[in-house]
C-alpha cells in the first residue's frame, strides 16, 4: 500500500507518495502544495497492485470515450457477412465470451490498448498454441476492420507482430498405431457400423467430417478398383438454430478421389451393399442419424479405447498410447510412408492444401530417406 509523507516547506507543504512496485523496487513521487494529487495517486496505486504502469493505464481507461476491445471484437463478428460459415461465426462468439467479455483486455478502450498489453495478454493465455493463434487472429482482424473505417479511432494495429515463439512444442504428439493395434481397436468397437467406419478411416485417411458424410453415390468401381470421391463434409456446428450443414471439404485439395486397397474394398463392399438408396453409409444404429464427432468420441471411442490402454497385472496394454479418432488419419499417413510412398502422393491422398503441412507433420518418419541421402555421399 502506498503512503503519503507530509513535510513542511518555506511556503506550504510537500506531499511525497512512496510505494513499492510489484518487482520490489521502491518508488516515490512528490507534489508541492497539492495534497489532492497525492491522494489521487495513492488511490490509483492502492487499487492497482502498487504498479505505476497499471495505475496509469487505469487512469487512461477512465478518461477514454472509445469503445472497448470487447465491443470492437463483437462489432467485427456481427458484420462478417455471408462469406463466413455459420459454424465459424459461432466459434468466434465463443471466443468473444471466453477471452474478451469481462477480462482485462476486453474491457480496455481500443485507443488505450498497447502492443505491450497485447503481448502480455497473449503470453499469459493458458491455452494450446493453436487456440492462442486463433484468438489472436480474431483480435487482429477486429482491429484491422476498425482501421479501414473512414474515421478510425486508432492509428495502428497493436496486435501485429505478437506471435508464439517458433520453438513452442505441440501440446500433443500424433499416435501412430501398428497393424495389430489397428485390428484390436476395430474389434473393440461396439457395433459393426463403427467397426467398418474405423477400418475405412484408417485405410483411407479421411477426416471425420468427410467419412461420416459418405453416401453410396460417392463411391464407384473402375477396372475392378473401388474409388471414393470426397466431395462433401459436415461443417462446424453452428448451434441448434442453424444445425450442422454439409459443405465442401476443409481445403480445396480436400476434394479428391481415394482408391481403396483390394483387401480394404473386400471388407467394405458387403457393408456398402447393405445401404438402402443413397442414405448416409455410417449412421447411429439406434436412430439412423448422423454420427457427430462429439458423440463418437464420448460414447463410442472412449469406452472402447480405455480397456486397451489400461494394463492388466503382469501384462502390457494392447495399445502403446492413447489415440484419438484423428490419429487414424495420422496412422494412415505413417503406413503410406513406411511403404515408401512419396510425400506428394500422400498430400493428395490426405487432401492437404500444402505439401508443407504433409512434410511438417510426417517428415520425421522418413528415416529411410535420410539414410539413403547419407549413403549417396559414400
Angstrom distance (rounded) from CA 294 to CA 187: 21
CATH architecture of the region 69-147: Orthogonal Bundle (1.10)
Domain boundaries, the chain: 3-63, 69-147, 179-369
The single-letter DSSP state of residue 96 is I
Cell matching residue 259: 482408391
Digit-coded pLDDT (tens) for 282-318: 999 999 999 999 999 999 999 999 999 987 777 889 9
Distance linking the first and last C-alpha atoms of the chain: 72
Angstrom distance (rounded) from CA 226 to CA 204: 12
Digit-coded pLDDT (tens) for 124-159: 888 888 889 999 999 999 999 999 999 998 999 999
The total of other beta-carbon atoms located within 10 Å of residue 216's CB is: 15
**How, if at all, do strands 3-9 and 219-222 pair?**
unpaired
Is there a contact between 284 and 295 (Cβ–Cβ < 8 Å)? yes
Cell matching residue 147: 482501421
Instruction: Tell me how far the alpha carbon of residue 345 is from its chain's centroid.
Output: 27
Q: Is 156 helix (H, G, I), strand (E, B) or coil?
A: coil
Q: Per residue of the chain (378 residues), what is the pLDDT tens digit?
A: 889 999 999 889 999 999 888 878 888 889 999 999 889 888 877 877 767 666 656 565 566 778 899 999 999 999 987 667 777 888 899 999 999 998 888 888 888 888 988 998 998 888 888 889 999 999 999 999 999 999 998 999 999 988 765 544 455 788 999 999 999 999 999 999 999 999 999 999 999 999 999 999 999 998 889 999 999 998 765 554 445 677 778 778 889 999 999 999 999 999 999 999 999 999 999 999 999 999 999 999 999 999 999 877 778 899 999 999 999 999 999 999 888 899 899 999 999 988 888 888 887 776 655 555 556 566
Angstrom distance (rounded) from CA 130 to CA 136: 10
Residue from 210, 248, 217, 221 nearest 350 by CA: 210
Query: What is the reported pTM?
Result: 0.64
CATH fold label, 179-369: hpI Integrase; Chain A (1.10.443)
Q: Is 230 helix (H, G, I), strand (E, B) or coil?
A: strand
The number of helices, as runs of H, and strands, as runs of E, in the chain is 16, 8
Amino acid at each position: 500500500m502506498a503512503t503519503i509523507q507530509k513535510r513542511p516547506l518555506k511556503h506550504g507543504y510537500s506531499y511525497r507518495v512512496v510505494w513499492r512496485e510489484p518487482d520490489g523496487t521502491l518508488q516515490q513521487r512528490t507534489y508541492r502544495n497539492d495534497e489532492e494529487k497525492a491522494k489521487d495517486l495513492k488511490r490509483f496505486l492502492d487499487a492497482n497492485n502498487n504498479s505505476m504502469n497499471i495505475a496509469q493505464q487505469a487512469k487512461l481507461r477512465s478518461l477514454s470515450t472509445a469503445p472497448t476491445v470487447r465491443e470492437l471484437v463483437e462489432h467485427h463478428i456481427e458484420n462478417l457477412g455471408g462469406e463466413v460459415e455459420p459454424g465459424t461465426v459461432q466459434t468466434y462468439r465463443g471466443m468473444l465470451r471466453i477471452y474478451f467479455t469481462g477480462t482485462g483486455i476486453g474491457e480496455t478502450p481500443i485507443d488505450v490498448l498497447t502492443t505491450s498489453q497485447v503481448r502480455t495478454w497473449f503470453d499469459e493465455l493458458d491455452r494450446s498454441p493453436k487456440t492462442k493463434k486463433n484468438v489472436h487472429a480474431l483480435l487482429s482482424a477486429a482491429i484491422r476492420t476498425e482501421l479501414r473505417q473512414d474515421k478510425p479511432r486508432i492509428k495502428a494495429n497493436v496486435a501485429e507482430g505478437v506471435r508464439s515463439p517458433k520453438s513452442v512444442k505441440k501440446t500433443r504428439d500424433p499416435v501412430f498405431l501398428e497393424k495389430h493395434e489397428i485390428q484390436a481397436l476395430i474389434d473393440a468397437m461396439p457395433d459393426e457400423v463403427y467397426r467398418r467406419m474405423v477400418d475405412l478411416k484408417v485405410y483411407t485417411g479421411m477426416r471425420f467430417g468427410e467419412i461420416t458424410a459418405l453416401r453410396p453415390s460417392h463411391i464407384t468401381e473402375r477396372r475392378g478398383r473401388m474409388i471414393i470421391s470426397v466431395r462433401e463434409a459436415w461443417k462446424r456446428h453452428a448451434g441448434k438454430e442453424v444445425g450442422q450443414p454439409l459443405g465442401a471439404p476443409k481445403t480445396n485439395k480436400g476434394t479428391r478421389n481415394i482408391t481403396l486397397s483390394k483387401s480394404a474394398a473386400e471388407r467394405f463392399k458387403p457393408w456398402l451393399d447393405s445401404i438402402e438408396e443413397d442414405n448416409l453409409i455410417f449412421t447411429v444404429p439406434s436412430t439412423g442419424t448422423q454420427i457427430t464427432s462429439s458423440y463418437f468420441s464420448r460414447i463410442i471411442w472412449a469406452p472402447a479405447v480405455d480397456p486397451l490402454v489400461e494394463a492388466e497385472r503382469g501384462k502390457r496394454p494392447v495399445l502403446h498410447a492413447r489415440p484419438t479418432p484423428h490419429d487414424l488419419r495420422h496412422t494412415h499417413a505413417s503406413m503410406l510412408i513406411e511403404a515408401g510412398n512419396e510425400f506428394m502422393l500422400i498430400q493428395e491422398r490426405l487432401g492437404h492444401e500444402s505439401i508443407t503441412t504433409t512434410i511438417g507433420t510426417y517428415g520425421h518418419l522418413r528415416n529411410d530417406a535420410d539414410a539413403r541421402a547419407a549413403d549417396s555421399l559414400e
